[in-house]
Structure 1
Amino acid sequence: MKIQRITYLSIGTNKGDKLENIQNAINIIADKIGAVLKIASVYKTPSLGFDGADFYNTCIKVSTYLPPESLIKSLLAIESELGRTRKDTGGYADRIIDIDIILFEDEIIFSKNLIVPHPRMLDRKFVLVPLVEIARNTIHPIEKKHLYICLENCIDNSEITLVKEQLKRPTPITEKYNYIAIEGNIGAGKTSLANMMSDEFNAKIVLERFADNPFLPKFYEDNERYAFPLEMSFLADRYQQLTDDLAQFDLFKNFIVSDYYIFKSLIFAQVTLQKDEYKLYRKMFDLMYKEITKPDLYVYLYQNTERLLENIKKRGRDYEQNIEASYLQKIHDGYSNFIKTEPDLNILIIDVSDLDFVNNTKDYNLIINKIKNHTV
C-alpha cells in the first residue's frame, strides 16, 4: 500500500487566459500527481523582479504518493506540457505557468534539484496569502511558527487583490465513489486492476475466492456433471463473502474495490446450466440479489477473445488451458445482455484490448481518468 503524503503547491501565471492556465494545471495535477484536497482563492499581484503583466496566483493542497524528487520532476513535466519553456538567462520573466513546491509534509529538504520549504515563501505575499487561506494553522518547519503568524510578519508590501472568479476542484475517485465493482471476462485483468487501485487509493479490497472452489478444476474436465454444483457453490460463496466483507466496512467512510459483482453468478449460470437447472438456480439467485449492496460504479473491462486467450495462457492455471474461444464469447454475450438490462446500475465499459495497464503507467492512468471523469 502506497503512503499518501500532503504537499502544498503554489501556481502562478501572467500570460494568456490566466484562469484557464491555472485550472488546466490543477486538472493535470489531479490526474498525474494526486488528489487535490483544497484550492485557495486566486489573487492578482504585480510582476515581481521584472516589468511584466500582472500575475494570477493560488495555492493548492495535494495528497500524493510521489516522493519529493519524483514530485518536482513531474511538476516540471506538467509545466512543459502546458507550454512553459525555461530559459537559462537568469532573472524573472513572463511565464504561462509556474508550479512550485512550497511545503512537503513537515520535511526540510536541501538537494541539488529541490529546497523545501520554498526558500522565498516567507517573503512573498502572493504565496503566503493563498497558502494561509487553506493551511492557516500549519507550522513552518524551520520557523516553527503557524503560517498565519508568518504572514503577519511578512514585510512584502506588494499590492494583492482577490479575483472573484473561482477555480473548480477535480473530484477525487475516493470522494466520487464509495464502492466500485470491476468485472470482465476470464483473463480480462479485473483482479489486477482492483489490486492496483487498492494500492494507489488505499482502498479496502474484496477479491473473489475462486481458488478455493474444489469444483472448478472438475468443471473444466466434465462440464455437464459439475456445472450445477459449481455455480451453486460460487453463488453461495460470493453472497457470503460480499455480505460479510461489505458489512465490515463503512460504505460512507471507506473506499471499497471488488474484482467481481454478484451478478456474474447469473451470467455464468446462463452459459453452463441446463434449462431446468437454470430455473432452480434463478430462484435462489433472485432471493440473494435483493440483499446485496449495489456498487456506486460497475466497471466492465472488455478484451477481445484473442487477448483473453493469451492472458489465460500466460497466467498458467492448468484447469483453464482448455477454455475455448466459443465459451469466452458466450460469457461476453452474457455480460452484454446484463449491461443492457440493468438501467439502475451506473455502468462504465472500458475497452482494454489494446492496453497493458499492468506494465504501462500511461495505460493505467488512462483507465483511472475514465473512471474519474465518468458521468451517469
Structure 2
Amino acid sequence: MKSQNQVVLSIGSNVGNRLEAIQSSINVIHNEIATVVKVSKLYETPAWGFESAPFYNVAVLIHTTKSAQKVLTQIHKVEKQLGRIRSNEKGYQARTIDIDIVSFNEEIISTENLQIPHFEMQNRKFVLLPMHDLNLNWMHPNFKKSITELLLNCEDESECVVIEKLVSPIEKLNVRAFNYIAIEGNIGAGKTTLATKISEDCNAKLVLERFADNPFLPKFYKDQNRYAFPLEMSFLADRYQQLTDDLAQFDLFKDFIVADYHIFKSLIFAKVTLHEDEFRLYKTMFDIIHKEMPKPDLYVYLYQNTERLLANIKKRGRSYEQEIPADYLEKINRGYLDYIKTQTDLNVLVIDISDLDFIKKQSDYVFLLDEINKSLSK
C-alpha cells in the first residue's frame, strides 16, 4: 500500500447553526471521503473580504489515497449535501458551509479550478491559526516557511477567538487503549494494507512481516514438497526474531503497536504444508518459541472467501503467487478458524470482509475501525 496523502481542509460556516454545520461536515468527510485524523480548535472570526455575520472556522487533517481533484469533487458534494448553494456572482458570500483544500502534502497544484497551497492562506489568520493547532511538520512549498513563520509574517489583524476544542473521529476511538493489535488473514486478505492504514491514521508503530526477503518462498510455490520444511522453519525463526525485537522496543512517539501477523500463523501454515513427521518436529520447536511470545491485546482475523482471495492475489501481481490453488487457500482459512475456536484466553475479533472494500470505500474502512473499537467493551 502506498503512503497516504496528508491533506489539510479549512472549514467555515456563518449561516444558521454554525457549529452543527461544521460538525456535520467533519462526520460526512470522515464516513464517506477520507479519514479525519486531527481537528483544530473552533475559532470565531469576522467575515473576510465582505460584510457579513462572523464565521466559525476549523482546520482538519485528512488521510487519503485519493487525488486532490477527487477530494475537491467530493467535498463540493458534501457542501451541496449540507445546503451550500454556489452562486455565479463575483465576490464573497455568506454560506452555510465552506470547505477548501489548503494543502496537499507539500505539493504545488495549479489547475483551472484548484490552487494548492491555497493562494490566500498566508494572508488569513482564520486559516493559519487552526492549521497551526494541527502541529504538522509542514513547509509551504512556495515560500519555504512553516505555519509558525507564516503566522509571524501575516498582516491580518482580525480577532480570532477560540470557542471550543473539537475532537476528531479518530481521537474518539479507544484503540489506543490496546498496547498490541495483531491483524491476521489469509494470503491476499488485505491484512498488511489494513495494518498500515491503521498505523498511519492512529499513530501506531507498524510491524510488517518480512515475507519478501524469504529466499525459499518462490521456490516453495514451484515445488512444495521439497521446500515446505525449510520455508516454514525460516519463517518461524524470522517471525520470532522480528516480533521479539519490535515488541520489546517501545516507541515513545507512538501510542500502540499494530502488526500484520501473529506468531501462531507459523503453526497454521506448517500444518497445511508439512508432512506428518515434519510437522511433529516443527511443532516441538514452535511450542518452545510460542511460550516466550507476548499475546496481542486484540487478535483480528479478516475472513475473505476464496474467490475474493484469488482475485486479490491476481490483482497485486506477485509472480510466485499466481499458481496458488484454491484448495490451499481454503485449507489455510479452515486452519485459522479452527485455531480461533480453541483460543479461550485470547481477545479475538473475526470480521467477514468478503463483501467489503476498505481500500476504495471509506465507509467500509470506518466500519472496520468501529468493529475494532467495539471489541474493547466485550
Do Structure 1 and Structure 2 share a fold, with TM-score over 0.5? yes
Q: Deviations over 1:107-164 (max 9, x none)?
A: 555431123443444554433443444469977645968233234x3144xx543213
Query: Runs of 5+ in structure 1 lacking a partner?
Result: 220-225
Determine the structure 1 residue equivalent to 2:44. Answer: 44
Q: Relative to structure 1, is the Cα distance of residues 369 and 343 closer, same or farther in structure 2, using a 3 angstrom cutoff? A: farther
Equivalences, count: 352
Find the residue that maps to 1:43 and give its secondary structure. Answer: strand
Q: Deviations over 1:31-63 (max 9, x none)?
A: 6445634x3211223555667654321123456
Within-5 A mapping of 1:148-163: 148-151=151-154, 153-156=155-158, 160-163=160-163
- Answer whether contact 1:11 1:99 (CA < 8 A) is retained: yes
Q: Deviations over 1:66-117 (max 9, x none)?
A: 5544443343344345453423344444433211133455655543112344
Determine the structure 1 residue equivalent to 2:192. Answer: 194
Find the residue that maps to 2:25 and give its secondary structure. Answer: helix
Find the residue that maps to 2:208 and give its secondary structure. Answer: strand
Q: Relative to structure 1, is the Cα distance of residues 28 and 283 closer, same or farther in structure 2, using a 3 angstrom cutoff? A: farther
**Which has the higher Rg, Structure 1 or Structure 2?**
1
Within-5 A mapping of 1:126-141: 126-134=126-134, 141=142
Q: Deviations over 1:318-368 (max 9, x none)?
A: 8744x54xx7666544423432443554543232323466xx722xx4553
Determine the structure 1 residue equivalent to 2:113. Answer: 113
Task: Using the TM superposition, give the Cα deviation of residue 206 of structure 1 relative to its aligned residue in structure 2, in angstroms.
Answer: 1.4
Determine the structure 2 residue equivalent to 1:239. Answer: 236
What is the TM-score of this pair, normalised by structure 2?
0.68
Find the residue that maps to 2:170 and give its secondary structure. Answer: coil
More displaced stretch, 89-98 vs 197-206:
197-206
Task: Using the TM superposition, give the Cα deviation of residue 240 of structure 1 relative to its aligned residue in structure 2, in angstroms.
Answer: 0.9
Match status 1:211 vs 2:217: yes
Within-5 A mapping of 1:137-148: 141-142=142-143, 146-148=149-151
Within-5 A mapping of 1:247-286: 249=246, 250=249, 252=251, 260-267=261-268, 282-286=283-287
AA aligned to 1:285 is F
- Answer whether contact 1:50 1:92 (CA < 8 A) is retained: yes
Could you tell me how far apart the structure 2 residues matched to 1:136 and 1:214 are?
Answer: 45
Determine the structure 2 residue equivalent to 1:361. Answer: 360
What is the TM-score of this pair, normalised by structure 1?
0.68
Q: Relative to structure 1, is the Cα distance of residues 344 and 74 closer, same or farther in structure 2, using a 3 angstrom cutoff? A: farther
Query: Runs of 5+ in structure 2 lacking a partner?
Result: 201-205
Could you tell me how far apart the structure 2 residues matched to 1:311 and 1:5 are?
Answer: 23
Q: Deviations over 1:169-203 (max 9, x none)?
A: 52499x95886544334x5x23x552586599775
Q: Alignment RMSD, CA only?
A: 4.8
Match status 1:97 vs 2:103: no
Determine the structure 1 residue equivalent to 2:14. Answer: 14
- Answer whether contact 1:136 1:146 (CA < 8 A) is retained: no
Within-5 A mapping of 1:284-323: 284-295=285-296, 297-304=298-305, 320-321=324-325
Could you tell me how far apart the structure 1 residues matched to 2:275 and 2:132 are?
Answer: 67
Could you tell me how far apart the structure 2 residues matched to 1:66 and 1:329 are?
Answer: 33
